[in-house]
Each structure stands twice: as C-alpha cells, then as structure tokens.
C-alpha cells in the first residue's frame, strides 16, 4: 500500500488506541469527550479530542471501515497533506457545528470520528462522483445520489432530534470535506461542475432552514 496506506493506518491506529483507552478509563473518556458545558467553560480541546473517542467497538469499527474504503481515493487525488487537511478540518467543523446547535445544552455529549470520516467520504464523492457505492453493502448506488440523499436525511435528523446520532457533526464534516476539496482541487469545477452544484444544494437548504428558525 506504500505511503498512501501508511497515512490511513496511522489515523486508524490513533483512533483505536485513544478509543480503547477511553473504553477502559472513564476519567479519560469524560475529560476528552465532547461536552457543550465543558467546552463553554474553556475545554476547547474537546472539539478535537472527542473525534478520536468512540462509544464502543461497533461504533469504532464502522467509522474505521468506512475510512479505509474511501481514504485512498482522497489520498490519490489530494496527496497526504490534502488528506490530513480534509480529515482534520472535517472533524473540527463537524464538532463546531454541533456546538453551534447545542451550545445551550449543558449536558450534550458526543464522541466519534464520524465528522472526519464523512468529510473523507464526501471528498471522495466530489473527486469521483461516478463511482458506485454499495448501500447496505449490497445495493449499488451512484456516489452523488448517496451524497445528496444522505445530507437531506441528516437535515431531517437534525430537525427531529429524536435519536442518538450526531447528525450535526455528520453534516458539518461533509461540508468540511466539500469545501476543503474544492479549495485543494479547483479542477472539480471543470470536470464535475454539475456534481459541485448538486452537492451544494443540501448545504443551501440547511442555511435557509437555520435562518428561518426551522432547525
């Protein structure tokens, strides 16, 4: 797998090490998880550290498996530095969006690399919109259809707030992947202009709903 695979392995390794430390050490987990109240009181580091913690092994496995599947697409087109920028920017933006929507909820908690992983996934979709994804690992779906559909579902989840899924972080991470990829690879405007526009529509919808006080 060479250097490209090495970057992926390092990030997966960090997630595994930090997550397993959190599984065994409650104080460690509590200190570094995302908590709106703690962040408001000054624990800004949680915006980054919470992205390397997970609730359990299943949560960790799903995130790392998704990252493994799509990392090399981003690495191939953006290089190692570009990949890291997308990953970290998506993680941070995802958690910042969560904080924006939950800053007044003192007991709101969250952990997971989902925002970062969604950023990598959406970067891959923007770079290769013609690739096919396996919905439930079975049903073939064009990448851009999945991307648009998932963002719309995420907006719906953000409006309902009736589950334990961090929809805000997912959406913020996807936006991070979208924006950073465009900045690093402006050629997507020439090669995939329609996809750039289509993937921007859910972002515009969220902005409009938020301004209208509907979310």
d(CA 23, CA 54) in angstroms, rounded, equals 8
Interval 106-124 mean pLDDT: 91
Pick from 119-123, 132-136, 147-151, 178-182: least confident: 132-136
Three-class HEC string of 102-166: HCCCCCCEECCCHHHHHHHHHHHHHHCCCCEEEECCCEEEEHHHHHHHHHHHHHHHHHHCCCCCC
Q: Does the pTM exceed 0.85?
A: yes
pLDDT of res. 120: 94
Per-residue DSSP letter, 52: G
Q: Which of 20-24, 86-90, 132-136, 141-145 has the least mean pLDDT?
A: 132-136
Lowest mean pLDDT among 83-87, 151-155, 160-164, 196-200: 160-164
Yes or no: say if 98 and 168 are a contact pair by the CB < 8 Å rule: yes
Per-residue model confidence (pLDDT) at position 146: 75
CA dihedral 172, 175, 179, 180 (to 10 degrees): 60
Per residue in 67-113, pLDDT tens?
A: 988 899 999 999 999 999 999 999 999 999 999 988 999 999 999 99
Residue 167 has pLDDT above 90, yes or no: no
How would residue 1 be classed by pLDDT, with cut points 50, 70 and 90?
A: very low
Alpha-carbon separation of residue 133 from 72, 113, 129, 140 (angstroms): 15, 20, 10, 6
Confidence of residue 147 (pLDDT cuts 50, 70, 90): confident
Mean pLDDT within 173-187: 94
User: Which residues, listed in sequence order, are joined to residue 90 by a DSSP beta bridge?
Assistant: none
Q: Largest Cα–Cα distance in the chain?
A: 50
Residue range 5-24: average pLDDT? 94
DSSP state of 214: -
Torsions phi, psi for 173 (to 5 deg): -65, -40
For residue 210, the surrounding DSSP H or E stretch is: helix 193-211
**Is residue 31 pLDDT above 80, yes or no?**
yes
């Amino acid at each position: 797998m060479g250097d490209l695979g090495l970057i992926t392995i390092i990030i997966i390794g960090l997630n595994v090490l930090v997550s397993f430390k959190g599984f065994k050490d409650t104080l460690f987990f509590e200190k570094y998880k995302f908590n709106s109240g703690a962040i408001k009181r000054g624990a800004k580091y949680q915006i980054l550290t919470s992205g390397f913690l997970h609730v359990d092994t299943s949560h960790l496995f799903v995130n790392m498996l998704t990252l493994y599947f799509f990392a090399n697409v981003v690495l191939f087109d953006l290089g190692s530095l570009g990949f890291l920028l997308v990953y970290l920017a998506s993680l941070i933006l995802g958690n910042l969006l969560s904080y924006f929507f939950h800053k007044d909820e003192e007991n709101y908690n969250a952990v997971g690399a989902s925002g970062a992983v969604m950023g990598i996934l959406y970067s891959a979709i923007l770079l290769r919109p013609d690739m096919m994804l396996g919905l439930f690992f079975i049903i073939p779906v064009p990448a851009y259809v999945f991307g648009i559909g998932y963002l719309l579902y995420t907006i719906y989840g953000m409006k309902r707030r009736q589950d334990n899924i961090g929809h805000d972080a997912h959406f913020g991470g996807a936006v991070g992947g979208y924006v950073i990829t465009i900045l690093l690879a402006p050629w997507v405007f020439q090669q995939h202009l329609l996809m750039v526009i289509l993937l921007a529509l859910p972002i515009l919808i969220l902005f409009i709903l938020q301004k209208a006080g509907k979310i």
